[in-house]
Amino acid sequence: MVIGTCGVYVAAPLARPLVAALKGSAPAEGRRPESQGALALKPVPSRVPEVVKPPVKPAAQELCAADAPAPRDTPQQVVRPDEEQPPALNGIFLAQRGDKPGWGVTHQRASYYTLEGARVGGVAGGVILEYRNAHTSSKGGMVECVIYENGSPSAPLLVSTKDVFLFTGTFRKLSERQIKDVQAYYALSGKIASRKTELLQAAAAKNPHFAVYNAAHTALMAHIESAKELAGKRDRATELEKTQLEDRLREMKIAETRLRTEYDAQLLKFRTWKQEHANEIAKPENDPDVKKWMQEMAALRPRIPGLAY
């Protein structure tokens, strides 16, 4: 009996690596999210996100995009280099529909808001965040999160879902090397997005129809936004007020038709000139800086399997 008990105490530590190796095969990596164009011709009207909680002053401050993609200090975590594992073995995958995210990273410059909806700053690509909750607002999907800047957590903030990639699990199961590579990868992604936007704006400015087209676009979007706000008031109004507001909405609908006709005409001129002078406009993907940063991203990609998109 004593011999058997001793055998258990001796054999148990030796069995631990075998148990760890039997965690199970990792599921296939998530699909790469579809990329969106850098210049949207008909962006969705925006408003400050709806109030969801009492105001909380954020600890994060406004950041300026650095010239080099040097990663920020990593959030505090405990994984030693000799304990590093592939993300999939720690249950870390790109969060798909129905998954519960645990953390994320900004892949381009992102504005952040207090929980009451006031914009208070912005961060560049490559910033780690801890997921708290999901919200909807007039600006679209929002992520309630804690941002880690210089290794310290901010107060809870709101960030648009379009500016972040969300992952399952926790970043605390990543090693310091893996976190730094994730930060460097998405810092480069943010620089590429900013440079492409800059180049597209410069190209648009060469178009002689851009100024008039842009003015028509701004007028139409502002009118649509006003109509939405008025419709919200109508839905909350008393019967007498509701009748008056509905009359105003009918008038605005007629005005919107006129504004949209003008916008469509200017958009056609803008696009026609762009197509006829396509050879005169430099393509963002051929920019030397963009090429260089894309090569650097390609070198980092194998180092963070399942985390690079």
Residue 124: pLDDT band with limits 50, 70, 90: very high
Going from N- to C-terminal start, the domains of the chain cover 40-191, 207-280
How far from the centroid of its chain's Cα atoms is residue 51's Cα? 20
How large a percentage of the chain has pLDDT more than 90? 59
For residues 124-139, average pLDDT: 92
Rounded CA gap, 258 and 291, in Å? 44
Residue 19: pLDDT band with limits 50, 70, 90: very low
Q: Is the pLDDT reported for residue 37 higher than 50?
A: no
CA-to-CA dists, residue 259 to 78, 216, 266, 290, 307, angstroms: 58, 7, 11, 38, 44
Q: Answer for the pair 231, 278: CB distance below 8 angstroms, yes or no.
A: no
pLDDT of residue 243: 87
For residues 209-222, average pLDDT: 95
For 52-83, what is each residue's pLDDT tens digit? 444 444 443 333 333 434 445 566 666 888 88
pLDDT of residue 138: 75
Q: Is the pLDDT reported for residue 33 higher than 80?
A: no
For residues 278-303, average pLDDT: 94
Residues in CB range of 132: below 8 A, 6 or more apart: 143, 144, 145, 146, 156
Predicted model pTM: 0.67
Q: Is the pLDDT reported for residue 149 higher than 70?
A: yes
Per DSSP bridges, beta strands 152-153 and 128-137 are unpaired
Q: Is the pLDDT reported for residue 252 higher than 90?
A: yes
**DSSP assignment letter at 73:** P
Neighbours of 153 (CB within 10 A): 17
pLDDT of residue 78: 63
Which residues are paired to 131 by β-bridges? 145
Rounded CA gap, 216 and 42, in Å? 11
Residues in CB range of 40: below 8 A, 6 or more apart: none
For residues 12-37, average pLDDT: 39
Rounded CA gap, 160 and 66, in Å? 21
How large a percentage of the chain has pLDDT more than 70? 75
CA-to-CA dists, residue 49 to 63, 74, 116, 157, 199, angstroms: 21, 29, 8, 12, 29
Residue 152: pLDDT band with limits 50, 70, 90: confident
**DSSP assignment letter at 36:** -
pLDDT of residue 76: 64
